Structure 1
Amino acid sequence: MSFNDLPQGTDNVLLDLGFDDAEELTAKAALALKLNALIDQRGLNQMAVATITGMTQPKVSQIRRYKLQNISLERLMQALVSLDQQVEIVVRPARRAHAPGITVAA
């Protein structure tokens, strides 16, 4: 097999691996990354984060470990708002150069 015979990848490794919900998982990971960075910057423990966000400590623990299967996008966005962040959702037509999809910039 030559280099040219290899399948062409995308910029989303989860999509390349065949995950059906790759876009949602990527969005969740981006939000969790930002949430975890805020937690670290503020020096908060999991109980403090649970109190601030209204989540349970086990849910916070899941986010801290990026175990996001049972955490909704909405819940992650609400947690960021609880930590004084502005979350914006932008909907616009897909351009020809970009395929339709979900993008999260955190």
Structure 2
Amino acid sequence: MTHPEESPQGVDNVLLDLGFDDAEELSAKAALALRLNQLIAERELSQTEAATITGMTQPKISLVRRYKLQNISLERLMQALVAMGQHVEIIVQPARSRVAGITVAA
């Protein structure tokens, strides 16, 4: 049995805990993809219909649906959300009370 003082200290980002170099970007992409996938499901869109609305290809929508986001940019995900009638807002502010980094709330 390990003692609490022997356990590694985690952070708020599990991807960072797992050692991903691009953990912040992947987390941001995942949050955007989650919202995009919610909209697709709520509207009961096929992948082809979602591709037509967002301007993405059906294979890219398939990747988003499966959260395979390595080859999809943050910008592309934001554009897709805008095409689905969403407002995407980016706020840059000093990291006074937080650690410097990227946060996406969707």
What TM-score does the superposition give when structure 2 sets the normalisation length? 0.96
Cross-structure match for 1:103: 103
Note the aligned Cα RMSD (angstroms). 0.7
Identity fraction in percent: 71
How many aligned positions are there? 105
1:1-106 pair list within 5 angstroms: 1-95=2-96, 97-106=97-106
- For structure 2, list consecutive stretches of 5 or more residues without a partner in the other structure: none
Residue identity matched to 1:104: V
User: Separation in 1 of the partners of 2:3 and 2:86?
Assistant: 48
Q: Where do 4+ consecutive residues of structure 1 move more than 4 Å?
A: none
Aligned-residue offset at 1:3: 1.9
What does the per-residue CA deviation read over 1:1-37, in whole Å, with 9 as the maximum and x for residues that have no partner? Answer: 4221111100100001110000000000000000000
What TM-score does the superposition give when structure 1 sets the normalisation length? 0.96
User: Separation in 2 of the partners of 1:29 and 1:2?
Assistant: 33
What does the per-residue CA deviation read over 1:56-105, in whole Å, with 9 as the maximum and x for residues that have no partner? Answer: 1000000000000000000000000000000000000001x310000000
